[in-house]
Amino acid sequence: MRWTLKPEPNPIITSNLAQELGVDFTIAKLLVQRGIETFEQAKSFFRPSLENLHNPFLMKDMNLAVKRIESAIKNGENILVFGDYDVDGTTSVSLMASYLKTFYPNVATYIPDRYAEGYGVSYQGIDYAEDNDISLIIALDCGIKAIDKVAYATKKGIDFIICDHHRPGNEIPDAVAVLDPKRTDCSYPYKELCGCGVGFKLIQALAEKRGQTIDDLVEYLDLVAVAIAADIVPITGENRILAYFGLQVINESPRTGIKAMIHQVKKEELTITDVVFIIAPRINAAGRIKHGNYAVELLTEIDFDTAIKFAAEIEQNNTDRKELDKSITIEALQQIEENNEQQSFSTVVYSENWHKGVIGIVASRLIETYYKPTLVFTKSGDKLAASARSVKGFDVYEALEECSEFIEQFGGHKYAAGLTIKEENYLNFKQKFEEVVKNSLPEELRTPEISIDAEISLSEVTPKFFRIINQLSPFGPQNMKPTFCSAGLRDNGYGKKVGADETHLKLNIFEGSNQTTYNAIGFSMGNKIDLIQHGKPFKAAYNIDENHWNGNTSLQLLLKDLQEEM
């Protein structure tokens, strides 16, 4: 692990902010690091307000989108809400369909089959619209590159409204409206919305025209919060406001489907991290193992008993998904070793038998072992499909653009993308991708980094300190849970390896001559046991967390790494 201490912010600004807010210097430093330098900025950060959401009509084409939907409703047209099969897509479809159905009945939903149709807008979906006398498709979390498909629909007399957040190509589809804050000609103030967030802006605009206020839309924010968490977009600006209030809805009055999932896992209060690791994988599992329609049915179901049945099915899908990604990861690691590719600059693996629904997860697993940009391919019809995942700081989307001569289709983000290629191009693509990564991945990005917010004394770790840090939540990209480091630490002699296979490390540590001990747990750090034995001093990088055990709550350090004190 490479430890990087964040630059010290301006000490005068930090001191002034600490004085204005009545907090200690370390807390003020965390805020200034996040761009919060004044009392007013701190107030809006700690007390998010729905009033601070931007006017949806600032987004390019919003007027056109609203007018087309109003026209469809006035004329009694059939509307199809179309979305991708992942969490962002299925929550987007559930959001849009459930809102429209509160005042208009002629609304159908469509999620493409991951295997038969692949990612994004599909010809089959357009044919379905034609067969069912649908004249307007609202595409969510996809469509920004669907030039040919939108043209195909136009010939059939079907209009498109696109709500996407992926990077556009050189050409924008010729749709009635294309809502995407990443369009170069869109001046919308916040660029980092997820697909469901763009969909929410559209219902916000529709609601405004219908005389509704933002308060009438709060009930939909549980879906938006789930999408924000799952799609790993920055939790800043509007996303922070939407996630903050969405989490409140999840914990206080979630929609029936989310309530049924929470009931399955018997969890009382969910954080954004719980949403990422508990709710999102279950929604995703439907599209990975069976069909994304199951997720939409669950998220739009009103009857709790029916939702419980859907949730139980999705729970089984999630169990199947876990077994699949575990077995495929083992096969992929064997392939890397057999091909002696451990020292390469990238990881590219392929088997025609791997399940397309879990290759993205497998790519992430491989990065845990070999920290490098990774693609996992499988057979998809007469083509090969891959999921790409990247390491911190490396733009895998740009790397794929440099390999475009061998790619049929691709799309995605800086750290995650999907693509299809012809089977005969696999080896050429693999060679080209390795070459691009070798030439563009800086040496320092080849080692996992721990970004440390501040070096502190353990004496600063108090319940009050933890309570204030918790108010920085919801945590996520560009507002991560603070990571601290402390030096001159020792274990009190009771440190040990724990867990069924002794892979974890449990310590009681103290600092210098202060004999107050702090509980610490290091998951998958059992191999560091030698470093803390025999009273040797060490440094620790950690988050501060709470441990709940037998009805008692205490602070604990969640270790990220240990280093020998030099």
pLDDT tens-place string over residues 291-340 = 888 999 999 999 999 999 999 998 898 899 899 999 999 999 999 999 98
Q: What was the pLDDT predicted at 120?
A: 87
Contact 484, 452 (CB under 8 A): yes
Q: What was the pLDDT predicted at 484?
A: 97
Contact 94, 300 (CB under 8 A): yes
Using one digit for the tens of pLDDT, what is the confidence trace for 432-449? Answer: 999 999 999 999 899 999
The average pLDDT across 246-270 equals 91
Using one digit for the tens of pLDDT, what is the confidence trace for 158-181? Answer: 999 999 999 898 899 999 999 999
Q: Which helix (H) or strand (E) holds 195?
A: helix 195-209
State what percent of residues in the chain have pLDDT above 90: 78
Q: What was the pLDDT predicted at 413?
A: 81
Exposure of 365 in the CB half-sphere (CA atoms within 13 A) = 18
Domains, the chain, ordered by start: 56-313 (3.90.1640.30), 328-446 (3.10.310.30), 450-564 (2.40.50.460)
Write the Ramachandran bin of 118: left for phi over 0, alpha for psi from -120 to 50, otherwise beta: left
- pLDDT tops 80 at residue 185: yes
Residue 481's pLDDT band, with cuts at 50, 70 and 90, is: very high
Contact 36, 42 (CB under 8 A): yes
State whether residue 5 is helix, strand or coil: strand
Spatial separation of the C-alpha atoms in residues 126 and 273, rounded to whole Å: 37
Six-digit token pair at 350?
């392929």
Cα–chain center distance at 543: 20
Spatial separation of the C-alpha atoms in residues 394 and 442, rounded to whole Å: 9
Q: What was the pLDDT predicted at 357?
A: 85
- pLDDT tops 90 at residue 556: yes
Q: What was the pLDDT predicted at 175?
A: 97
- pLDDT tops 80 at residue 514: no
